[in-house]
Structure 1
Amino acid sequence: MQIYSAMIPVKETFSKKEFVRLLLEWNQGSPHDRMKGVRWQEEQRLLAVEDLPEKRIIAARFQKTDSYGMIWTSDLVLNLEEKRLSVRLDQEVTEQTSSFFYRFSPPYFIRLVIRKGYAGIDGRLPVTGKPVSLGIGEKELAERVLLGKEHFQLPIVYLTKKWDGCYPLNAELLSEQLQGTAHVLKETTPELGKLLRKKCNGENPHHGAIGIYYPCVSAENKKIHFEPYTEEILLQKIVNMIYRYENQQTVR
């Protein structure tokens, strides 16, 4: 069962050689999944790489069986033609599985790609694990985002400040959990929201409301009001919405 999927643009410098080097760094740096001397197959783990030069694609699969008998499969596909990295995580139970309760986090590989500076530019926004601040100087960009006039490959989470001048949740923590699967934009001043109201017919999120904007026209944009939720529940709700959207996208 697929439980996580993401596609992010990458830079030209993220070559096949760098992909493999980062793959080994990812495995050898893991406190739980490190394979001794990168033995490509162990009793509970498998690491495989396949190069398809005619399609300018290199792919890797890491598979492990945890202590509960649950099988986890991470697929990493670098398409050099499209300059795009696809990451997918599958979870499978067997007759030997002793527990069906699980929690997961996205493969750490995607965070490494961002941290090492290989993530590319999506439209006018960098793919990053940090929120992007929007002030009065970024009014034109904010307006185009809210009106759907700016094209992005990734969803956008748009944060506004509450009446007390605080955000309804921790923008840095949200960005860290999304790990580049969505852009997190945050208004730095309520004055920006006031300027946007006229252009957006008052439909722009403001005073703590959060907007979710999807690049796919078949997905309906959302506006979330923070009042009914605790910060922890609100954060998890948004993360789940983004993950659910990404899981529904077709990966060739």
Structure 2
Amino acid sequence: MTTNFSTEFPIDSGKSVADVVHLAYQWVSGSPHTKIPKAELDELPVDAERTISAFSEQVTTACANGQDFAIGGLRYVRTESGLEWTTSIVSLKTNERHVLSLQVSCEALSTAVRLPPPKKPYFIRQALEKLGGGMDGEVPVTDRPFRLAEGEASIAAALISGLARNKLPIVYVSAGFDGNLLVNPNELAQYVSGMAHVVVEPSREFSYHLKTLTNSRNAFGGTVGVYWPESDARKSYFIDEAMPNPRAIQLEIAKDIRLALSNRRLRSTCTWAHLKETISRKRFDLLRSQGSTALQEYIDAFDAEQAAKDGKLIEAEQEISRLHAEIKRLASANQSSVAGLISPGKEQDLYPHEIRDIAIAALQEALRTTRENSRRQHVLTDLLNINQPSRHAERMQEEIKSLFKTYRDMDAPTRSALLNLGFSISEDGKHYKVVFQSDGRYTFTLPKTSSDHRAGKNIASDINNALL
């Protein structure tokens, strides 16, 4: 059986396990395709299981209470179009927290049936609306983005560096070079709710401060980065041929997170196997405390407990297989990285694709001086054939030349154009001081007024030589 979807997240501790199971009942009865009588979906078992069947459907509920915990859940099995779908919803509440897990598995009943792609179940949206999210470490679980304010770079650094005690991944939306966002954070938060947290930075200047706090690990310049807790792993998303527009990026992020979670074992004991094991243990302990001599009852209780343990063993074996596959994948990726990529430094792009274009230009220059028909020439040619420059620097050069071609003073159109290019402007006596992307290394002085017709050309030349 293939795990189609899997996630777990904290919910409001003010809600009970019974609240979760009743909401799961509503989820089943609310389906227009179910044949399970609504009246049957009401009673909750106590330290026991209860199964209801109708046609190609089966609903099993189970609940158990301990000294310092309560656990309960629903498993819904439905056969349709040659596929057997199994949805397990489990709630585990302790004195410290309340966790909800949801797993969907799918099995083809014949080789002629293809498994469908994974989708996020509607129940997650119901759970967040009706039950409310809890705290995932220091981050609230919600279907809305968490928007950072200026001065909260230390919070962003903790989230990116995995120091916020969160278990769900962080989707970090950085501000573009023009201050705008590449994606719609509200839509993205809806797509990944219950699976990840969407965090939005307030400005490009914020990114520069964050850079020093994260040792340049932060996504920047409009890029969206996904950071997994307790890991240095990060994946970046930006517009390219595979993801040509913001919506494509949002869908790709949600798909990647779904796939990753479906391959990750649930981190807590909030599982259907643990729920069944708990009930079996309570039945066995009850029989023993009552001094029962009914051999068959002992046997039944033992068999049920053993079946629960076998289920956990199967889960462990599947996890071992998955980890072996993950090790092979990471080893392959590491070999590829060592063989074909260089490690990024601490500098960040000051305009789109800057560092990449600089590297490509350096390769082009090296190719011009390389011996004909040498191995070096062949490698450089191959790299340049598949890595075309963006030409963004050339376009900026032309804009700057055009802007200062007839420069006389800092009029409104000139000021607006400079701001759009990424310069900040301040007065400094008889001059203006312009700084590119808030990086003080790239500061230029402009006269407030100029009668020299060559002044504008000289300014443009100075800026282009320093930046481009």
TM over 0.5: yes
Pairwise CA distance, 1:98: 5.7
Q: Where in structure 1 are there 5+ consecutive unaligned residues?
A: none
Q: What are the equivalent positions in structure 2 for 1:105-184 lying under 5 Å apart? A: 105-184=119-198
Which residue identity does 1:221 align to in structure 2?
R
Paired position in structure 1 for 2:265: 250
1:49 equivalent to 2:64? Answer no
2:238 is the counterpart of 1:225: yes
Q: Which has the higher strand share?
A: 1
For residue 171 of structure 2, give the secondary structure of its aligned residue in structure 1: strand
Shift, 1:233, TM fit: 3.0
Distance 1:8 1:148 in 2: 17
Answer yes or no: is 1:234 the counterpart of 2:249.
yes
Paired amino acid for 1:19 = V
Task: Give the distance between the partners of 2:21 and 2:213, measured in 1 at CA.
Answer: 47
Deviation at 1:183, TM superposition (A): 0.3
Aligned length: 249
Q: Which residue, out of 85, 100, 104, partners 1:72?
A: 85
Deviations 1:4-36 (A, max 9, x none): 100101222221221222122222333344733
Q: How does 1:85-104 map to 2 (within 5 A)?
A: 85-95=100-110, 99-100=113-114, 102-104=116-118
- Which has more helix, going by share of residues? 2
The alpha-carbon distance between structure 1 residues 220 and 34, as it changes in their structure 2 partners (threshold 3 A), is: farther
Code of the aligned partner of 1:56: A
Distance 1:132 1:245 in 2: 22
Q: Residues 220, 65 of structure 1: CA spacing in aligned structure 2 closer, same or farther, 3 A cutoff?
A: same
Deviation at 1:139, TM superposition (A): 2.0
What is the letter of the counterpart of residue 133 of structure 1? R
How many Å separate the matches in 2 of 1:135 and 1:226?
26
Give me the whole-angstrom Cα distance separating, in 1, the residues matched to 2:230 and 2:261. 10
Question: Which residue of the partner structure matches residue 196 of structure 1?
Answer: 210
User: Which residue in 2 is equivalent to 1:22?
Assistant: 23
The aligned counterpart of 2:448 is none
Q: Report the Cα offset of residue 83 of structure 1.
A: 1.9
For residue 35 of structure 1, what is the aligned residue in structure 2?
36
164 and 107 in structure 1: CA distance in 2 versus 1, 3 angstrom threshold: same
| SS of residue matched to 2:220 | coil
Q: Cα–Cα, structure 1 residues 234 and 33, in superposed 2: closer, same or farther, change >3 Å?
A: farther
8 Å contact kept, 1:160–1:207: yes
- Determine what percentage of the aligned residue pairs are the same residue: 26
Matched, 1:211 2:225: yes
Q: Does structure 2 retain, via aligned residues, the 8 Å contact 1:154–1:181?
A: yes
TM-score, length-scaled by structure 1: 0.88
- Is 1:185 aligned to 2:186, yes or no? no
1:138–1:29 CA distance, 2 compared to 1 (3 A): farther
Q: Which has the higher contact order (CA 8 A, sep 6+)?
A: 1
Aligned to 1:62: 76
RMSD in angstroms over aligned alpha carbons?
A: 2.2
Partner residue of 1:2?
3
Structure 1 contact 71–91 (Cα < 8 Å) conserved: yes
Question: Which digits, 9 at most, give the CA deviation of each residue in 1:101-136, with x for residues without a partner?
Answer: 524422222211111243211122110111111121
1:191 is displaced (CA, Å) by 2.2
Asked if 1 retains the 8 angstrom alpha-carbon contact of 2:89 and 2:102, the reply is yes
Give the drift of 1:155: 0.7
CA contact (8 A) 2:35 2:55 kept: no
User: What letter matches 1:50 in structure 2?
Assistant: A
The structural deviation recorded for 1:149 is: 2.6
SS at match of 2:54: coil
Q: Is the 8 A contact 2:144 2:190 kept in 1?
A: yes
- Matching residue's letter, 1:78: S
Q: Select between 6-15 and 230-239 the one with higher mean Cα deviation.
A: 230-239
Corresponding residue number in structure 1 for 2:98 = 83
1:50-109 Cα deviation digits (max 9, x unpaired): 11224621121011122x2211111011111252111101011003x7641524422222
Residues 1:116 and 1:162: Cα distance change in structure 2 (over 3 Å): same
Aligned AA for 2:239?
A: F
Decide whether the 8 Å contact of 1:28 with 1:38 is kept in 2.
Answer: no
| Distance change >3 Å, CA 129–CA 34, structure 1 → 2 | farther
